Amino acid sequence: MKKWFWGLMTGMALMSLLLVLASIVGWYLQQRPPQVSPNTFLVLEISGELPEQNPPDLAGQLLGGDGPMTFVPLLQNIEKAGADSRIAGLLLKPSGVRAGWAKLEQLRSALEQFRRRGKKIIAVLSQGGTREYFLASAADQVALSPVGVLDLKGMRAEVMFFKDSLGKLGIQADLEHIGRYKNLSDQFTENQMSDAFREATTSMLDSIYGHFLETVAAARHTSAEEIQGRFEQNGPFEAERALEAGLVDVLSYEDQVWEQLEKEAQGMKPKKMAMREYRRVPRSEVGLRGDERIALVYAVGNITQGEDEFDPVFGGKTMGSETMASVLKTVADDESIKGVVVRIDSGGGDAFASDEIWRSMMLLRQKKPLVISMSDLAASGGYYMAATGDPIVAERGTLTGSIGIVYGKLNLKGFYDKVGVRKEVIRRGPFAAMDSDYGPYNPEERQRVRALMNDFYQKFLAKVAEARKMSPEAVDRIAQGRVWTGEQARENGLVDEIGGLDTALEILKKKAGIPPDARVNLVEYPRRKSLFELLLSRARGDEGNGSTALSVWVGAVSPWTRVSPWKWMEQYFPSPVWARMPYTFDFR
């Protein structure tokens, strides 16, 4: 019996050792740079949201994967391919793209720069809407599947309203806002757009749609008016009509596109390589290694107090004020860092957390040259933190501004009544129950709420006024909670330059005294947690655990949150004061 037992244990030990060795060998092979042959075409599949940061991925790291490619590394890999003499071109395959228009503009600009290096781009579409076609129009040739569809028929804006759905649950959103256009509260207290909400949304739609038309019209060698007429009068387009309308160049399957490339190769047979494989090629291999270290700090997600957490509602992560303060201090104290770009992709959140991050930004700028780079969103609390007085760079399609305040709570008394729950409230002080979810504000409480809101709003205006060298009155005229596109924000003095990360780096080099043609080494913060750190965090219960505090945005009930079942709807609202643009803006 003992012999059998020890034999079993020895076998298990050997099996475990073999698994560990196999994992080590697999990891080593994954880290080795691939061999790139001359005349290689990279296959670049673009889909999803193209996040600035990935949330912590314990499973992915356990399996040894690199994780999905985030946005800035994608841009860097396109730049690297442009400088690599072995790369002949790109097969661009956009499908199911959900990224915002600012990211799409910067990605399209990177593709155009790739072409200017003498490289070829062929876009291969099976079907596509405005986002996919916007990217494809940067190619030398657009190929559409013979059974494909171009869903081009104009552009629309969609905004959701939740008043009736909350009412069915017996829930009332008791919200106050400052700013005629601060329309976040309208989504929960109204059934349709107010005149101000409609005005602002229409203006943003016209700005984004106008730039889309101008861009694709130039690519197809026609006028914006002509291309608009084709879309709105004749779309959507089945394959033959898309070809007749001059929107695509050829009707071909991907294998037919590849056969054509082989015919054009003139003896040097082209090779394929996926971009996810090519990303392991070091930049130094193509002469792009930088000497000066520049910090790229990601400020991404809904703004909360405390540490970064997983956001179960919107996906990705939240932006915790404590995490940001720690990261910004680390960067400020690192003598090897010559300058900082803070990359914002946030629609705001908790107002007090936004102010804490703003303070950390102000302390950082005392030690390092600083430039702000706005991604898809940098609105409300996301703009608040950018009001440091340093240069702000945004894309035309960035959604920014939304300088205003919302204060409120969910009145759950009707919900409690529906499920048979009753509360009794004992208080000491006339305003002690002001934030209770068991009833609306009374007139005295509402007056106090408005006074608190006005105080925060005036301080918000003052910070922006000082940063932008304007009077508070001038800021108030363009504030009022209104969301602007990046192009509109520049016209109103809220941003300095239109451009992407490359523009921000050019400005930062000048501020930091770095030669304009010098290569720089981007150091990303917050750094990705190691596998050991993720396991330790899970063991302590740090990752993904929501807070029951009403002042912290959590998201929604999920297996990871520790909240009372009667409080789950409150997770949709940071409280009591927040600076947040409206949710569910979608221009498509």
Domain spans in the chain, listed from the N-terminal domain onward: 290-587
pLDDT at residue number 532: 47
Q: Which pTM was predicted?
A: 0.86
The predicted structure's pLDDT at residue 266? 75
Q: What's 262-298 look like in SS3?
A: HHHCCCCCCEEEEHHHHCCCCHHHHCCCCCEEEEEEE
What local confidence, expressed as pLDDT, does residue 538 receive? 47
Low-confidence ranges of the chain (pLDDT < 70): 1-31, 55-67, 311-315, 528-586, 588
| Peptide bond just before 236 cis, omega within 30 deg | yes
Q: Which contacts qualify for 197-201: CB closer than 8 Å, 24 or more apart?
A: 197/159, 197/582, 200/482, 200/483, 201/157, 201/159, 201/585
CB-CB contact of 415 with 423 (8 Å): no
Predicted pLDDT at 185: 84
- The CATH class given to the 290-587 domain equals alpha beta
- Burial (Cβ within 10 Å: 0-12, 13-18, ≥19) of residue 241: middle
Confidence at residue 34, expressed as pLDDT on a 0 to 100 scale:
85
Residue 399 has what pLDDT? 94
**Residue 524: what pLDDT?**
95
Q: Which residues pair with 250 in a beta bridge?
A: 143
Rounded to the nearest angstrom, the gap between the alpha carbon of residue 427 and the centroid of all alpha carbons in its chain is: 43
Structure tokens, 230: 């084709």
pLDDT of residue 313: 57
Sequence-distant (6+) residues with CB within 8 A of 141 are 121, 122, 123, 249, 250
